[in-house]
Structure 1
Amino acid sequence: MDPLGTGTTPPATAGGALWDGFSLEMTGKDVAGLERARGTLPPGTRVNVTFLATEDLGTRLDAARAVRALGLVPVPHIAARRLTSRADLEHFLGGLRAAGASAEVFAVGGDPARPLGPYPDALALIRSGLLTGHGVRHVGICGYPEGHPAIPGDVLWAALRDKADALAEQGLTGSVITQFGFDAEPVLAWIAELRRQGVTLPVRVGVPGPAGVRRLLTYATRFGVGTGAAVARKYGLSLTHLMGTAGPDRFLRDLAAGYDPDRHGAVGTHFYTFGGVTATAEWVARFRAGEGG
């Protein structure tokens, strides 16, 4: 059985089941870093290609093609609120299909406070009816274990249930990728609640890749996943050595220790690279080797 769609059967150990078949994230400017990492990434690794306002369609498509050329699986992001029209969405999807990169996408609302066109959120993208017609078969959606700084919790839960239902109605498979976190306990509690609410989609837990301590704390504050002191305590960061770097060793081990397949269902990991694709890929390879993954 391959519940996460990794193309391999996860090993029996709890840890291996979590980080075997991991996915990671890149921007359109990270192609060179991905090419340097090709020897450390297992064939078929899913690579999410973000939808940044500073990058155009050509850059996104070039990145998706590069992922595919390396024997990896491109998962382009579609940012709903950044699309200006139905034709804009069709143009993007058509470009992905021509690049051989439309089978899997990740639907996200996007950053603008007001939508630039007719799609206010990922649910609107799914309900547009355009995805399957352009070869999309699998759609990833967002999850927020520690909440969202601008969206109430009940709204987040309702949106997640609605998106899961809409995927089924459209005949699409799906998965949930969570916002990154620094504390495994609330993540596992959130996944258990997700199952109680009847959502059975596989979950990929967002994990910060290795990065500078200062950068990690900045991201934690920006995305509302904890204060500096709380993050440092749980994640093992030193507030007196901000120039150092840190990896998610403790987080992953805590995640594995608390993971219960019967309670949490299909769970994997997704690494946010923060611009360091090569460093993240090499770190994951070392960690998996050391943990017997």
Structure 2
Amino acid sequence: MNPGSMAPAAVRTSLLEDFSLEMTGKDIPKLEEAHATIPPGTRINITFLGNEDLRMRLDAARAVKRLGFTPVPHISARRLRSRDDLEQFLAGLRADGTAENVFVVGGDPARPEGPYEDALAVIRTGLLGRNGVRHVGVSGYPEGHPAIPDGALRSALTDKYAVLQAQQLTGDVITQFGFDADAVLTWVEETRKWGVDQPIRIGVPGPAGVRRLLAYAARFGVGTSASIAKKYGFSLTNLMGTTGPERFLRALGDGYDPVRHGDLKVHFYTFGGLGATAEWIARFRRRADRSLK
């Protein structure tokens, strides 16, 4: 299926006008190769992996800024071994002029490697604002989390929102990826009823092999029933192909109601590679633009 062959106007004019991407500290060469296909100023999230060190993370943020994009470094709470770790990272970002936007997440380790149990604990330190952070992204889980009850997820999100407001920091919510646009939109509507009116960036997998997507889905507790897979555009019985999110984006655009869902954008997880995702988005948007002429 050609990217954008069934892209409605809602996708182009709203959801994809200010999309964001994700990279690791090792992806600087890939970002340099792909930068011409990415709109200037695009928010590039930089993951905080256990096999990367402070220098790699700071280098990646500097590269994103140098290439004309907006760096959004991740802070993984449970990977921080000490308060000093957090302070060093924030001080490095501040010195490089890359501290304005961050994304704070609990992180993968089941047990904290230091004093921070979750993202809220990091936010409550007050260190973000004191080091030049002005905008903080936090996580949302439309299909829940395999290790956290739904009630705890709701409390965590509303508590983080309240603390950010008290600290006079703006923010947004970036969701875990999923394959069911209806479930995502239902969760967004519920989240608005909780009083969370920050922009929400819907997590979308960039084009990738079906087998790889299913591996990530199993890891993060994302639903992959036969009906959902068919709706998204891949088969659970044929794992050799590659699939993109065009059907998901169409369903998202068709179901999106700004009154009920508020400010929505799209965040692309680059499971199939940063360059492949950037090229796919560029083609998709060109096709959508032509469909409106």
TM-score (norm 2): 0.94
After superposing the two structures, state which structure 1 stretch, 94-103 or 222-231, moved more. 222-231
Higher relative contact order (CA 8 A, sep 6+): 2
SS in 1 for 2:75: strand
* Inter-partner Cα distance in structure 1 for 2:114 and 2:235: 44
Name the amino acid aligned to 2:233. Answer: G
SS in 2 for 1:37: helix
Structure 1 stretches of 4+ moved >4 Å = none
Match of 2:274 in 1: 277
Match of 1:142 in 2: 139
1:68 aligns with 2:65: yes
Pick aligned residue for 2:10 from 1, 7, 14? 14
* Inter-partner Cα distance in structure 1 for 2:186 and 2:173: 15
- Give yes or no for contact 2:209–2:272 (8 Å, CA) kept in 1: no
Match of 1:80 in 2: 77
- Give yes or no for contact 1:220–1:228 (8 Å, CA) kept in 2: no
- Give yes or no for contact 1:27–1:275 (8 Å, CA) kept in 2: no
- Post-superposition offset of 1:65: 0.7
Residues 235-265 of structure 1: CA deviation (Å, up to 9, x unaligned): 1103343221110000000000000000000
1:118 aligns with 2:119: no
Name the amino acid aligned to 1:125. Answer: V
After superposing the two structures, state which structure 1 stretch, 265-274 or 217-226, moved more. 217-226
* Inter-partner Cα distance in structure 2 for 1:231 and 1:211: 17
- Give yes or no for contact 2:207–2:272 (8 Å, CA) kept in 1: no
- Give yes or no for contact 2:19–2:265 (8 Å, CA) kept in 1: yes
1:24 aligns with 2:21: yes
Structure 1 residues 63 and 162: alpha-carbon distance in aligned structure 2, compared to 1, 3 A threshold: same
Match of 1:213 in 2: 210
Match of 2:264 in 1: 267
Structure 1 residues 138 and 201: alpha-carbon distance in aligned structure 2, compared to 1, 3 A threshold: same
* Inter-partner Cα distance in structure 1 for 2:45 and 2:262: 23
Structure 1 residues 228 and 35: alpha-carbon distance in aligned structure 2, compared to 1, 3 A threshold: farther
1:192 aligns with 2:189: yes
* Inter-partner Cα distance in structure 2 for 1:74 and 1:26: 10
Name the amino acid aligned to 2:135. Answer: H
Structure 1 residues 275 and 32: alpha-carbon distance in aligned structure 2, compared to 1, 3 A threshold: farther
Instruction: Calculate the aligned-residue CA RMSD, in Å.
Output: 1.4
- Equivalenced residue count is 282
SS in 2 for 1:29: coil
Pick aligned residue for 1:58 from 55, 59, 62? 55
- Give yes or no for contact 1:217–1:228 (8 Å, CA) kept in 2: no
Match of 2:235 in 1: 238
TM-score (norm 1): 0.94
1:224 aligns with 2:221: yes
* Inter-partner Cα distance in structure 1 for 2:75 and 2:54: 11
Match of 1:290 in 2: 287
- Post-superposition offset of 1:136: 0.2
* Inter-partner Cα distance in structure 1 for 2:57 and 2:179: 29
Match of 1:40 in 2: 37
Name the amino acid aligned to 1:132. Answer: G
SS in 2 for 1:42: coil
* Inter-partner Cα distance in structure 2 for 1:30 and 1:105: 18
Name the amino acid aligned to 2:229. Answer: A
SS in 2 for 1:28: coil
SS in 1 for 2:114: coil
SS in 2 for 1:131: helix
> How much identity, in percent, do the aligned residues show?
66
Residues 29-55 of structure 1: CA deviation (Å, up to 9, x unaligned): 111111111111000000000000011
* Inter-partner Cα distance in structure 2 for 1:173 and 1:180: 23
* Inter-partner Cα distance in structure 2 for 1:181 and 1:75: 22
SS in 1 for 2:37: coil
SS in 2 for 1:206: strand
Name the amino acid aligned to 1:221. Answer: A
* Inter-partner Cα distance in structure 2 for 1:13 and 1:290: 11
* Inter-partner Cα distance in structure 2 for 1:169 and 1:106: 18
Pick aligned residue for 2:172 from 175, 181, 190? 175
